Structure 1
Amino acid sequence: MHDNREVRGTASSSVEFDDKGWPAWPEREDLSAEFIKLLAAAQEGGSSVSECWLTLSKIDLASENSWSGEWIKTAELNEARAEHASLGGNMITARRNWLRATTYFHAAARPPGYSNDLLKRAVDGMRRCAINFLKSRVPAGQVLSIPWTDELSLQAYYLPSAFRDDGPVIVCIGEPGSYKEELITKYASHANERGFSLLAVDLLGTQTALPPQWLDGHKFEAAMSRVLDFLSEKPGVDDTRIAIVADACNSSLVARAAATDARFAAAVCDAGIWDLHERSFFHRQAGDDTQICWIDEANAISRGIECPVLVTAGEAGWLLPGALTKFGDQLSHIHRDARLILFRRAETGAMQGHIDNPTLANEVIFDWLEDRLRIRKGLS
């Protein structure tokens, strides 16, 4: 249900508001979700609310390239401000503008249907600004290439802790189809303030897309073991305190990695619930009524995770709250340190992936990691 409010811009870019007050294009749910993420990024310094609305007013959804083109313009404006501030020695302002530019370039690279030229321009700009942001940090971040297969290396950003050497590292994973640059905005401040180093990794490498055969779960699990091998040999890392965080809660890839490599000290993931959900769907399609109660039996993924595990989900997400609660109860019975936290609509953070309030979810997640990795406040 939609009310009568709308943002006036070009005729085909008028946006309605849903009954919760969020902007929405009924015919473009992907863009609606992306714009909500852009607004929420302002809480972490990844965007400006005014710039988001101004850019939105210029977008014409009847034009195939308008969405990407307008966000690229806004990103390049922020990048120009960053470069001007950097030349004047104003590195805090430069860093803030490079971070916002990274977010806007990322938005330009997200939806399908744009030209290859625009996609390349968006991805190149996003990576350029992210690297400049890393270089401007204190201590400076690093661009890493971690060997994976003969044909592909994992591309990663490493943001060392400002507080200590030989400390914990949080490995954040961009799921297939996402970019590691977004992880910087979402997680860097939460990690840094708690004395964590952060390793942001995606599966895209230097490419803008991967063929389906690269998304096989076993290859991904091997990739995460390579990440652990790499970090274990890296100076300044306590290899007994490496945790993994999945950026998306609708995939079991990180859960599979945690289940197959016991070296992780903690994991924030779906604990295999989406694997169960997908298997249930296929059984239903095949008419196998004996497997409809998919939540009643723990799967190998959740049983295989030995480290402490946290699952977060939203009441307004894709899975029914009742099923999530039942899975959480089951998980706590089979695992010595496992918890499912369900964010309710009344507190926000309740949408799929917590896109309506990622800050709230990340505070819960990183407090849990802080407790499990035994980091206390008062670091100097």
Structure 2
Amino acid sequence: MKFLFEDESFSFEALRAAGYATYAGAELGEILTTCRRIPDCDEQAWSAEWAGTAERVEKIGRNALAGGHRVSAREALLRASNYYRTADFYRRADPANDAESARLAKASQRTFADAAALFDIPPRAVRIPYEDTTLPGYLYLADSSGKPRPTVLYHGGYDSTLEEDYLALAAGALRRGYHVLTFDGPGQGSTVREQGLHFRPDWEAVVSPAVDFALALPEVDADRLVLIGTSLGGYLAARAAAFEHRLAACVLHDGVYDLHETLQAMLRNVGGPDDLAAHSVSVRWLVNNGRWTYGVADAGELVAASAAYTVDGIADKITCPTLVLDAENDQFFAGQPRRVHDALVCEKDLFLFAEEEGGGEHCHEGAIALWHQRAFDWLDTVLAA
């Protein structure tokens, strides 16, 4: 569906930001007025206008907090975090040396942390041991009883952030009585910006330490530990589940069979970095974000690096019940969720979200309540068996 912009990428990212209104992470009026000021395909205006909105909304939150208005402060700061993330989204030409990109990312982290401190049960900021370093995470508890509950391990994908993970998944899980451990893996959020960690295809090396960490927590029910991955995370979670067998269930949001196929198709006519200006917003962003998060020089190296990101030959190693989600209009991985589902030999289900019900976009942006309802209802049933 087209949402406020004709450009496919601008439309999708505006819908993504707006969809978090479900969990108080956006306000429709703020979305509409911000987007109205941005010319289609103007990435500089996109960053400036979203940053301006974020700063204005953050000020509302700071003033509310100073006045002792806890709920108002929490909600405004949560929206500001989402808007700062959105402002930074297209700043990928040279993010390692882009001071404004760093400022926006830090502002998104700061406003989220300040909002989270005002939650009824504030999450714990954690560091998950990983090789010779640690990965940042948040532990969200559905209650303060200390009793073991079903727990979701959650990570995003190609462009996720730890702060966005709350709106994307944790908020919906908490309402249903699940604890949630979110984390940035290599190539995601602050790990690439602050630690220089890049994506790796053998994602079990990332998830298994998170499983170890979760199982050491008294609040986690070891028999009801679930892994969910979003977007490229649909591949990453599937890869991890093929080798990490302490999981009670896995949700692929959405299913990704072969990243290499997607990048080959989208980037087949792209040359070196100087050639990017002639291509669409989507292609420019795809290459620039990939150069940064994969640690490669150009589109050709990105395509080559993606060759290992496939579930071909490993999907049949997944043993836990697995739900594969699919979107009718997915612009990145059309047809791949069905292929993942067909390759699985474990207990499995495939849910297709249709355009007419509002869930047809990649990862069902704009229909977050709908996909949460279907995924968590499925999990409730599987974990009760």
Q: CA deviation at 1:128?
A: 0.5
In structure 2, the gaps of 5 or more residues are: 269-310
Q: 3-state DSSP class of the match of 1:269?
A: strand
2:356 maps to: 346
User: What TM-score comes out, normalization by structure 2 length?
Assistant: 0.78
Q: 2:199 aligns with which of 215, 223, 243?
A: 215
The residue correspondences of 1:1-380 to structure 2 (distance < 5 A) are: 20=1, 22-26=3-7, 29-60=8-39, 65-113=44-92, 116-150=98-132, 152-162=133-143, 164=145, 165-203=147-185, 204=188, 206-207=190-191, 209=193, 214-218=198-202, 220-248=203-231, 251-269=234-252, 273-275=256-258, 278=261, 299-318=312-331, 319-320=333-334, 324-325=337-338, 328=341, 330-331=342-343, 334-335=345-346, 337-374=347-384
Cα 1:272/1:303, change in 2 over 3 Å: farther
Question: Is the CA contact 2:242–2:318 (under 8 Å) kept in the aligned structure 1?
Answer: yes
Q: In 2, are the aligned partners of 1:134 and 1:159 still within 8 Å (CA)?
A: no
CA gap 1:246/1:145 in 2 versus in 1, 3 angstroms: same
Kindly state the Cα deviation for residue 206 of structure 1 after the two structures are TM-superposed. Answer: 3.4
Distance in 2 (CA, whole Å) between partners of 1:279 and 1:124 is: 31
Q: 8 Å contact 2:324–2:351 — kept in the other structure?
A: yes
CA contact (8 A) 1:30 1:111 kept: no
Shift of 1:196: 0.7
Measure how far apart 1:34 and its partner are: 0.6
Q: Find the aligned partners of 2:197 and 2:108 in 1 and give their Cα distance.
A: 26
Per the alignment, in what secondary structure is the counterpart of residue 238 of structure 2?
Answer: helix
The letter for the 2-side match of 1:258 is: A
Deviations 1:158-211 (A, max 9, x none): 111126421111111022432121111122331111111111111236345489
Say which SS state the counterpart of residue 252 (structure 1) adopts: helix
Identity of aligned residues (%): 27
TM-score, structure 1 as length reference: 0.79
* Structure 1 residues 324 and 58: alpha-carbon distance in aligned structure 2, compared to 1, 3 A threshold: closer
Query: 1:280 Cα shift?
Result: 12
Cα separation, partners in 2 of 1:271 and 1:106, compared to 1, 3 Å: closer
Please identify, of 168-177 and 116-125, the stretch whose mean Cα deviation from structure 2 is larger: 168-177
What is the letter of the counterpart of residue 229 of structure 1? D
CA offsets per residue over residues 62-88 of structure 1, 9 Å max, x none?
A: 865321122122112222222222223
Residue aligned with 1:24, SS: coil
Structure 1 pair 276–173 and aligned structure 2 pair: CA distance change class (3 A)? closer
CA 1:277–1:72 in 2, change beyond 3 Å: closer, same or farther?
Answer: closer
Asked if 2 retains the 8 angstrom alpha-carbon contact of 1:175 and 1:202, the reply is no
Structure 1 distance, partners of 2:375, 2:237, is: 15
CA RMSD of aligned residues (A): 2.9
The alignment covers a number of residue pairs equal to 334
Residue 134 of structure 1, CA deviation? 1.8
CA 1:316 to 1:117, structure 2 compared with 1: closer, same or farther past 3 Å?
Answer: same
Structure with more relative contact order (C-alpha pairs < 8 Å, separation 6 or more): 2
Contact 2:161 2:184 in 1 (8 A): yes
Is the 8 Å Cα contact of residues 252 and 270 (structure 1) preserved in structure 2? no
Task: Render the CA deviation track for 1:274-310: whole Å, top value 9, x for unaligned.
Answer: 238739979xx9xxxxxxxxxxxx9433211111100
Moved more, 98-107 or 263-272: 263-272
How far is the alpha carbon of 1:54 from its aligned partner? 1.1
CA distance in 2, matches of 1:187, 1:84: 28
